[in-house]
C-alpha cells in the first residue's frame, strides 16, 4: 500500500471518530452550528482525500453524505432522530468502506454494496424532501458564468490581423494580493507569442501621492495564440474582480477597436497612438476609425444603448462585488468571535518507530547499568561520577521516550457514547453515560488492548446491570439509568472503573450457580468479595437467556484473561439494589519500570518500585505464622525463600519489603536489599506463563538475569494463605484483622 493511502486511511478513521462524536452531540444539541460544521468538515476531508487517492467507492458514497450534511449546514433540513440515526449508520458504513480499502479490496463486496445502496436511497429520501436533487452542488462549478460579452458589430472595416489584442488595467490591490503584474505577461507568453506590448502608466500619481504598495499600471498587449478567449481570460482569473480586462479577438472590426479605445480610461488619442505602437492598428486605421465613430455617435441617440448596457453591467458587477465583500466580512467577524482555537501541535509518528526507540532505550538502560557497575568496581571516583551523570540522563531519556507512548484514554471512552446510545435504544432502556478522567494517560499498547474488555464490561452493565425502566421506577430510582466510566492514576497503576446504578449482583444466585457449575464446593464459605468475583470464573453466567449483547458465559472469563495478559487485574464490587462497580488496574507501561532490587540467596529479584511502601529490617521474624505487627496493624507476609523453595538457611537478619496493591498491604521477606534499579521488562517465554508470582524478567548490569515479581499475585497469595491459617474467620480479614490478636505478640 502506498504512503498516501495509508495516511488517508489513518486520517479517515480519525475523522470518522470525530464525525461520530459530533453526530452523537448533534442529537443532544441540534442547533450547535459549530458542531454541524465540524461533522461536515470531517466528511468533506474524507471525500477530498478519497478523490486524491482515487478510491471512487468511498468518494461516491461520502459525496452523498456530504450533500445531506451540506443541506443540514445551510438549515435546509432540520435535525431529527431518524436523520441522526441515518447519519450514524452512514458513518458506520464509511468505516466499513475504509476497512475494505485497508484490506486492499478493489470494491466493497455485494453485502456492503447493497447496504450502501440502501443508505443512498434513504439519503435521497431526505434530500428529495427538501427538493434538492441528490447530486446537487457537484456540478455547480460548471455554472460559473462566462462573462464573455459578445462585442456587437456596428459597421466599420475589419482590422486584418491574426493576433489578439488585450488591454488590462490592474487594480490598486493587485500587489497587496501577492500578485506580480509581470507574471501575467509571462503566463500569456506561454500561450503563444507576444508581438507587441506597451505599459500604461497614466494612472500613476505624482510621487508625493504615490503609495508604493499600490499598483498603477496596465498593459496593451498584442498576442498571437491559438488559445481561445476563455483561455486568455483564465490567465487573469485571479485578478478578474480587481482589474479592467478587455480582449479583442483577431480580425475584429475597426469600430470595435475604436469602441475599445474609447471605453478605456486613458485619453482616446493617446491610446490610439499606443495601439499603433504595439502593432494592433496602423495610424491610418486609428484616424479612420475615430472619424467614423464620431459621425456615428452624432447620429446615434445620446447614450448609446450598447455602451450604456455594458457600462451598467460593469457597475452592477461592481456593486455585487461590494455587497458580497461586505457580507463576507460580516460572516467573518462572527467566525472570529466564536473561534475555538484547537491548538494542537502534533507530529505524526509511526508506532513502529516509537517501539524501536523504546527498545533502544531499553538496551541503553541495561548498558548504562553495566557501565555503572564496572565504574564502581574500578573504584575510580571520576569514573563513578561520570557514569552516574550518564545514568541520570539515561533515566531522563527513558522517561521522555516512554512519555511518547502515552495517550489519553479519552478517545477510548468516547467510543462508548455510541455503544450506550445504540444498546439502550435496542434494549428500550434510558441510559446516560458519564465519563470522567478522560485525560488520564496510559501506554498506547494498553489503550489498544483494553478496548475489548472494556466494551464487554460496559455492555454487561447496560444489559444486566441497569434494570428495565418500569422496575427502576418501582424501586424508586430515576427512570434514566447511569453508567459511569472513570480513570485515574493510583500508585503506579492506572485504574479504570465501570460503574452502574443498576440492580447489583445477586449473591445468592451467584452462589447457587457456582455450586451448580461446580466452581465451588458445598460447604465452602466465601466472603462477599469472593462471591461476586466468582463471575470471572470460566463458564459462569447468571442470565438464563443469552442475549446478543453479552452473557454467553464466556465473557467475564475472557475479560479477566485479557486484562491479566496486560499485567493487570480486575475485580468487582456490588451492592444489591444499588449498583455494581468493576475496577480494572493496569500497569502504566509495559516496557520499562523503576524497580527495587532485592536478593534471596544468590538470586536477584525486582519489585516494581511503585508498589513499594517501605522496607524494614527485622532480626527475628516469627517463624510460626505469616503475619506480624507493624505499628499496630496486621501485616501478612510471605518469604520468597519459601515461596520459590530456595535451599539454604535464611541469614540472621532478613528484610521485609512492604508492598501495596489495590489497597492491600503485604510484606515480602528477602535476604538483602539492593536498591533502586531501572528495569527493562523482558517478557517470559510461553513455557513460564503459568508461573504465579513472577511477571517477567530483566537483565542486570552484570549481565545476570533477575526475575520481576508480580506483586498483585503475591499479595493475593499472601492474604489467601493467611486466611487458611485462620479458619472460619470471615474474609474481610487482613485489614480488619483486629489488633487485639497482636497484643499477645
Partner 1 sequence: MKTIFLVDDSATILLSISNILTKAGYATEKAANAEEALRKLRTGIKIDLLITDLNMPGMNGIELIKEVRKLPAYKFVPILFLTTESQQSRKLEAKAAGASGWIVKPATADELLNTIKLVVR
Binding site for partner 1 (CB under 8 A): 3-4, 7-8, 10-11, 38, 41, 44-45, 48-49, 51-53, 140-141, 143-144, 175-180, 182-184, 187, 190, 213, 235, 237-238, 241-242, 321, 324-325, 327-329, 331-332, 335-336, 339-346, 348
What values do phi and psi take at 280, rounded to 5?
A: -75, -40
The neighbouring-strand residues paired with 699 are 705
Rounded least distance, CB 319 to partner 1, Å: 13
Instruction: Give 179 or 684: the residue with its C-beta nearer to partner 1.
Output: 179
Rounded least distance, CB 580 to partner 1, Å: 39
Rounded least distance, CB 102 to partner 1, Å: 14
Instruction: Give 128 or 180: the residue with its C-beta nearer to partner 1.
Output: 180
Instruction: Give 143 or 522: the residue with its C-beta nearer to partner 1.
Output: 143
Q: Cα separation of 452 and 574, whole Å? A: 22
What values do phi and psi take at 488, rounded to 5?
A: -160, 165
Closest to 158 in 3D by CA, of 249, 272, 281, 254: 254
> For residue 348, with 0-12 CB atoms within 10 Å meaning exposed, 13-18 middle and 19 or more buried, which class applies?
exposed
Rounded least distance, CB 325 to partner 1, Å: 5
Q: Cα separation of 727 and 724, whole Å? A: 5
Q: Which three cell numbers stand for residue 650?
A: 535464611
Instruction: Give 187 or 488: the residue with its C-beta nearer to partner 1.
Output: 187
Instruction: Give 182 or 389: the residue with its C-beta nearer to partner 1.
Output: 182
Torsion of CA 155, 158, 159, 164, to 10 degrees: 90
Q: Which CA distances in Å does 731 have to 425, 529, 692, 720, 726?
A: 41, 8, 22, 9, 9
Instruction: Give 130 or 321: the residue with its C-beta nearer to partner 1.
Output: 321
Q: Cα separation of 604 and 615, whole Å? A: 16
Rounded least distance, CB 42 to partner 1, Å: 10
Instruction: Give 74 or 730: the residue with its C-beta nearer to partner 1.
Output: 74
Instruction: Give 44 or 421: the residue with its C-beta nearer to partner 1.
Output: 44
Measure the N-to-C terminal CA separation of the chain; round to a whole number of Å.
Answer: 71
Angle at 107 between CA 103 and CA 110, to 5 degrees: 110
Instruction: Give 187 or 688: the residue with its C-beta nearer to partner 1.
Output: 187
Determine how many CB atoms are found less than 10 A away from the CB of residue 657. Answer: 24
Rounded least distance, CB 277 to partner 1, Å: 27
Angle at 208 between CA 204 and CA 214, to 5 degrees: 45
Rounded least distance, CB 540 to partner 1, Å: 46
Q: Cα separation of 732 and 208, whole Å? A: 94
Instruction: Give 136 or 691: the residue with its C-beta nearer to partner 1.
Output: 136
Three-state SS sequence of 45-102? HHHHHHHHCCCHHHHHHHHHHHHHHHHHHCCCCCCCHHHHHHHHHHHHHHHHHHHHHH
Q: Cα separation of 181 and 200, whole Å? A: 12
Instruction: Give 235 or 715: the residue with its C-beta nearer to partner 1.
Output: 235
Determine how many CB atoms are found less than 10 A away from the CB of residue 256. Answer: 21
Instruction: Give 70 or 722: the residue with its C-beta nearer to partner 1.
Output: 70
Rounded least distance, CB 639 to partner 1, Å: 57
Rounded least distance, CB 169 to partner 1, Å: 17
Rounded least distance, CB 312 to partner 1, Å: 20
Q: Which three cell numbers stand for residue 69?
A: 450534511
Q: Cα separation of 559 and 571, whole Å? A: 11
Rounded least distance, CB 141 to partner 1, Å: 4
Determine how many CB atoms are found less than 10 A away from the CB of residue 194. Answer: 19
Burial 84-116 (b: 16+ CB within 10 A, else e): bbbbbebbbbbeebbebbbeeeeebeeebeebb
Beta-strand relationship, 603-608 and 705-709:
parallel
> For residue 634, with 0-12 CB atoms within 10 Å meaning exposed, 13-18 middle and 19 or more buried, which class applies?
buried
Instruction: Give 242 or 633: the residue with its C-beta nearer to partner 1.
Output: 242
Torsion of CA 723, 726, 732, 738, to 10 degrees: -130
Rounded least distance, CB 333 to partner 1, Å: 11
Q: Cα separation of 711 and 699, whole Å? A: 19
Instruction: Give 232 or 638: the residue with its C-beta nearer to partner 1.
Output: 232
Residue 632, Ramachandran bin (φ over 0: left; ψ between -120 and 50: alpha; else beta): left
**Helix intervals (H) in 110-253:** 110-129, 181-191, 229-235
Torsion of CA 473, 475, 481, 486, to 10 degrees: 160
Instruction: Give 121 or 180: the residue with its C-beta nearer to partner 1.
Output: 180
Is 417 in contact with 433 (CB distance < 8 Å)?
yes
Is 468 in contact with 553 (CB distance < 8 Å)?
no
Rounded least distance, CB 265 to partner 1, Å: 22
Instruction: Give 244 or 266: the residue with its C-beta nearer to partner 1.
Output: 244
Burial 153-180 (b: 16+ CB within 10 A, else e): ebebeebebebbbbbbbbbeebbeeebe
Q: Cα separation of 400 and 390, whole Å? A: 15
Rounded least distance, CB 328 to partner 1, Å: 3
Rounded least distance, CB 234 to partner 1, Å: 10
Instruction: Give 320 or 512: the residue with its C-beta nearer to partner 1.
Output: 320
Q: Which three cell numbers stand for residue 654?
A: 532478613
DSSP state of 549: S
Rounded least distance, CB 152 to partner 1, Å: 27
Rounded least distance, CB 341 to partner 1, Å: 5
DSSP state of 462: I
Amino acid at each position: 500500500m502506498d504512503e498516501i493511502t495509508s495516511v488517508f486511511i489513518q486520517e479517515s478513521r480519525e475523522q470518522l471518530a470525530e464525525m461520530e462524536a459530533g453526530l452523537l452531540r448533534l442529537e443532544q444539541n441540534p442547533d450547535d452550528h459549530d458542531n454541524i460544521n465540524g461533522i461536515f468538515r470531517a466528511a468533506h476531508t474524507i471525500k477530498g482525500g478519497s478523490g486524491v487517492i482515487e478510491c471512487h467507492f468511498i468518494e461516491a458514497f461520502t459525496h452523498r453524505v456530504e450533500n445531506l450534511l451540506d443541506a443540514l449546514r445551510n438549515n435546509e433540513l432540520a435535525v431529527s432522530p431518524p436523520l441522526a440515526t441515518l447519519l450514524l449508520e452512514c458513518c458506520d458504513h464509511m468505516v466499513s468502506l475504509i476497512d475494505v480499502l485497508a484490506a486492499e479490496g478493489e470494491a466493497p463486496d455485494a453485502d456492503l454494496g447493497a447496504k450502501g445502496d440502501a443508505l443512498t436511497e434513504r439519503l435521497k429520501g431526505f434530500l428529495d424532501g427538501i427538493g434538492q436533487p441528490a447530486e446537487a452542488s457537484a456540478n455547480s462549478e460548471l455554472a460559473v458564468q462566462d462573462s464573455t460579452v459578445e462585442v456587437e458589430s456596428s459597421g466599420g472595416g475589419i482590422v486584418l490581423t491574426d493576433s489578439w489584442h488585450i488591454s488590462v488595467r490592474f487594480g490598486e490591490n493587485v500587489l497587496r494580493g501577492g500578485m506580480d503584474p509581470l507574471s501575467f505577461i509571462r503566463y500569456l507568453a506561454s500561450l503563444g507569442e507576444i508581438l507587441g506590448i506597451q505599459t500604461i502608466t497614466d494612472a500613476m500619481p505624482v510621487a508625493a501621492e504615490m503609495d508604493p504598495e499600490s499598483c498603477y499600471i496596465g498593459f496593451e498587449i498584442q498576442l498571437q495564440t491559438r488559445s481561445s478567449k476563455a483561455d486568455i481570460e483564465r490567465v487573469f482569473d485571479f485578478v478578474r474582480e480587481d482589474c479592467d480586462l478587455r480582449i479583442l479577438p483577431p480580425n475584429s472590426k475597426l469600430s470595435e477597436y475604436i469602441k475599445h479605445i474609447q471605453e478605456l480610461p486613458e485619453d482616446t488619442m493617446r491610446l490610439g497612438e499606443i495601439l499603433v505602437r504595439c502593432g494592433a492598428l496602423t495610424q491610418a486605421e486609428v484616424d479612420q476609425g475615430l472619424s467614423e465613430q464620431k459621425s456615428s455617435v452624432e447620429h446615434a441617440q445620446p447614450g448609446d444603448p450598447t455602451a450604456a448596457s455594458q457600462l451598467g453591467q460593469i457597475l452592477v458587477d461592481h456593486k455585487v462585488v461590494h455587497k458580497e465583500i461586505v457580507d463576507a466580512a460580516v460572516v467573518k467577524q462572527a467566525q472570529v468571535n466564536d473561534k475555538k482555537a484547537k491548538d494542537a501541535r502534533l507530529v505524526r509518528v509511526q508506532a513502529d518507530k516509537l517501539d524501536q526507540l523504546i527498545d533502544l532505550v531499553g538496551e541503553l538502560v541495561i548498558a548504562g547499568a553495566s557501565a555503572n557497575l564496572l565504574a564502581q568496581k574500578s573504584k575510580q571516583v571520576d569514573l563513578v561520577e561520570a557514569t552516574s551523570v550518564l545514568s541520570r540522563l539515561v533515566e531522563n531519556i527513558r522517561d521522555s521516550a516512554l512519555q511518547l507512548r502515552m495517550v489519553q484514554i479519552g478517545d477510548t471512552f468516547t467510543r462508548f457514547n455510541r455503544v450506550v446510545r445504540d444498546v439502550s435504544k435496542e434494549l428500550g432502556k434510558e441510559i446516560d453515560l458519564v465519563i470522567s478522567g478522560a485525560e488520564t494517560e496510559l501506554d498506547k499498547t494498553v489503550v489498544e488492548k483494553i478496548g475489548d474488555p472494556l466494551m464487554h464490561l460496559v455492555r454487561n452493565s447496560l444489559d444486566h446491570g441497569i434494570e428495565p425502566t418500569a422496575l427502576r421506577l418501582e424501586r424508586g430510582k430515576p427512570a434514566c439509568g447511569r453508567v459511569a466510566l472513570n480513570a485515574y492514576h493510583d500508585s503506579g497503576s492506572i485504574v479504570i472503573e465501570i460503574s452502574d446504578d443498576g440492580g447489583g449482583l445477586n449473591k445468592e444466585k451467584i452462589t447457587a450457580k457456582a455450586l451448580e457449575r461446580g466452581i465451588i464446593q458445598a460447604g465452602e464459605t466465601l466472603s462477599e468479595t469472593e462471591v461476586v468475583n466468582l463471575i470471572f470464573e470460566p463458564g459462569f453466567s447468571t442470565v438464563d437467556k443469552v442475549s446478543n449483547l453479552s452473557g454467553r458465559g464466556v465473557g467475564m472469563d475472557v475479560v479477566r484473561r485479557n486484562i491479566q495478559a496486560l499485567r493487570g487485574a480486575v475485580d468487582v464490587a456490588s451492592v444489591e439494589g444499588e449498583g455494581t462497580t468493576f475496577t480494572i488496574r493496569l500497569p502504566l507501561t509495559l516496557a520499562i519500570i523503576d524497580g527495587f532490587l532485592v536478593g534471596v540467596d544468590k538470586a536477584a529479584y525486582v519489585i516494581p518500585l511503585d508498589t513499594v511502601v517501605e522496607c524494614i529490617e527485622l532480626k527475628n521474624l516469627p517463624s510460626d505464622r505469616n503475619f506480624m505487627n507493624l505499628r499496630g496493624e496486621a501485616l501478612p507476609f510471605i518469604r520468597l525463600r519459601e515461596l520459590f523453595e530456595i535451599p539454604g538457611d535464611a541469614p540472621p537478619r532478613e528484610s521485609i519489603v512492604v508492598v501495596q496493591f489495590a489497597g492491600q498491604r503485604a510484606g515480602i521477606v528477602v535476604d538483602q536489599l539492593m536498591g533502586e534499579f531501572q528495569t527493562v521488562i523482558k517478557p517470559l517465554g510461553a513455557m513460564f506463563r503459568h508461573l504465579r508470582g513472577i511477571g517477567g524478567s530483566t537483565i542486570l548490569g552484570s549481565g545476570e538475569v533477575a526475575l520481576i515479581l508480580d506483586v498483585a499475585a503475591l499479595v493475593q497469595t499472601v492474604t489467601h494463605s493467611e486466611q487458611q491459617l485462620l479458619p472460619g474467620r470471615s474474609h474481610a480479614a487482613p485489614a480488619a484483622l483486629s489488633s487485639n490478636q497482636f497484643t499477645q505478640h
